[in-house]
Structure 1
């Protein structure tokens, strides 16, 4: 047995299936998209026409493309500056709960295991102008019904709120695990020294969970760049394309309009933008969150 394990062919045999799947479903699609992004192709013809960088130049001059990219930016801003602080706040609250902590963790995590289609339909009923819960509550204080998903002023915010509701619990569990792994001795020593709960949270807990907060922010950025399903379910990019993100804009071109060449160009640009954003975050921010051991 030991002699077999020293044979390199044994290890190659075990990792080959994983490498094959990785190549089939990750490496090959990436290079395939890059190739087709330089072509004019309808997705059906056998011989795509090579057109060089024409698709990329078209994308850079396409106002709808940049409008969609701006909406992805709103996802990032909302996630980093509103969702992440709320995640930290609720994680600290749950960490200090004495009873039914498991119930609270289950409750906040539940939305993240639900289907996006279910989430979209559920919140669609909440946003419904005539019988929706949100407008009913606003009506109690004298505010006229608002068209949350059909008015350009509110549609994007409505989607951002729904998306945050779905994924906040998932990140709370991550941050909560980091908080609960901090030795109680540190907190107790600070409490004996007279530090208040707020002071302990700001001076002990937050500095010690910086690495996991950094991971949450990076995942939020990556998730914001590939957002599509919640938009498709709730608005299909409407009204008048005001809630389109890069992924939904790509789907419209590639599938609805049979312009697979340009659709692959948008897919490659999404990949490049995501790579640049995550690299910049890692370079200028995440690297400052050093690994903490205690």
Structure 2
């Protein structure tokens, strides 16, 4: 048995299936996208025309593309600046609940297991100008109905709120798991010393869960860069392309307009932008969140 374990070929044999799957479903699609991004191709013809970096030049000089990039930026800012603090706040509240904690955890996690199509349709009814719940509430205070999904001023914000509502519960469960794993003796010792609940949260709990908060932020950034389904369901990128993100912009050209070469160049740019953002976050911020042991 020991001789077999010392044989390098045995280790290669074990990891070979994973390497094959990795090459098939990750490396090959990336290489294929890069190849077709350098061509003018309609997705049907068997002879894509090589045009070099023309697709990338067109994308980087296209106003609608930069509108889509800006909207992805809104997703990131909303996730990191508003959603993450709320996740931490509600996680701290639920962690200190004495009764029905399981019910609260299930309630906040439920939206994240629902289909995005269902979420989009549900919130579409909430945002409906005439009979929607939100406008009916505003009517009580004498505010005129707002066209949440068809007005450029409110459409993007409406999508951001819906997306946050869907995924906040998923991240709350992650942060809750980190909070629950903290030894209770630390909190009890601080309470005996006279520390209030707020002081214990800021001085003990938050520093100890900093690594999981870092993970949540990184996942939020990655999720924001690939956001597409909620936009497609709720506004299809409208009105007038004001809610398009890079993924929906790519879909419109690649599928609707049969410009697969240009669509592949957008997918490559999404990959590059995501890689740069996550790498910068890891280098500048995540490394400071050292592993906590207790």
Shorter-chain TM-score bucket reads over 0.9
Counterpart position of 1:195? 195
Counterpart position of 2:180? 180
Asked if 1:47 corresponds to 2:55, the answer is: no
Deviation digits for residues 64-84 of structure 1 (CA, Å, limit 9, x no counterpart):
000000000000000000000
TM-score (norm 2): 0.97
Please state how far the C-alpha of 1:144 moved relative to its aligned partner: 1.1
Counterpart position of 2:278? 278
Deviation digits for residues 7-38 of structure 1 (CA, Å, limit 9, x no counterpart):
54444333332222211111100000011111
Please state how far the C-alpha of 1:140 moved relative to its aligned partner: 1.1
Structure 1 Cα separation of the partners of residues 130 and 10 of structure 2: 65
Asked if 1:20 corresponds to 2:25, the answer is: no
Q: How does 1:236-247 map to 2 (within 5 A)?
A: 236-247=236-247
Please state how far the C-alpha of 1:53 moved relative to its aligned partner: 1.1
* Partner SS, residue 227 of structure 2: coil
Structure 2 Cα separation of the partners of residues 27 and 174 of structure 1: 30
- Count residues in correspondence: 294
Counterpart position of 2:157? 157
* Partner SS, residue 242 of structure 1: coil
Please state how far the C-alpha of 1:60 moved relative to its aligned partner: 1.1
Structure 1 Cα separation of the partners of residues 288 and 12 of structure 2: 37
TM-score (norm 1): 0.97
Counterpart position of 1:129? 129
Counterpart position of 1:83? 83
Mark the runs of 5 or more structure 1 residues left unpaired by the alignment. Answer: none
Structure 2 Cα separation of the partners of residues 154 and 233 of structure 1: 16
Structure 2 Cα separation of the partners of residues 7 and 282 of structure 1: 36
* Partner SS, residue 182 of structure 2: coil
Moved more, 225-234 or 9-18: 9-18
Structure 1 Cα separation of the partners of residues 144 and 29 of structure 2: 49
Structure 2 Cα separation of the partners of residues 25 and 228 of structure 1: 20
Q: How does 1:161-172 map to 2 (within 5 A)?
A: 161-172=161-172
Structure 1 Cα separation of the partners of residues 211 and 141 of structure 2: 43
Deviation digits for residues 47-70 of structure 1 (CA, Å, limit 9, x no counterpart):
111111111111110000000000
Structure 2 Cα separation of the partners of residues 29 and 11 of structure 1: 26
Please state how far the C-alpha of 1:4 moved relative to its aligned partner: 5.2
Structure 2 Cα separation of the partners of residues 4 and 125 of structure 1: 63
* Partner SS, residue 265 of structure 2: helix
Structure 2 Cα separation of the partners of residues 190 and 5 of structure 1: 50
Counterpart position of 1:289? 289
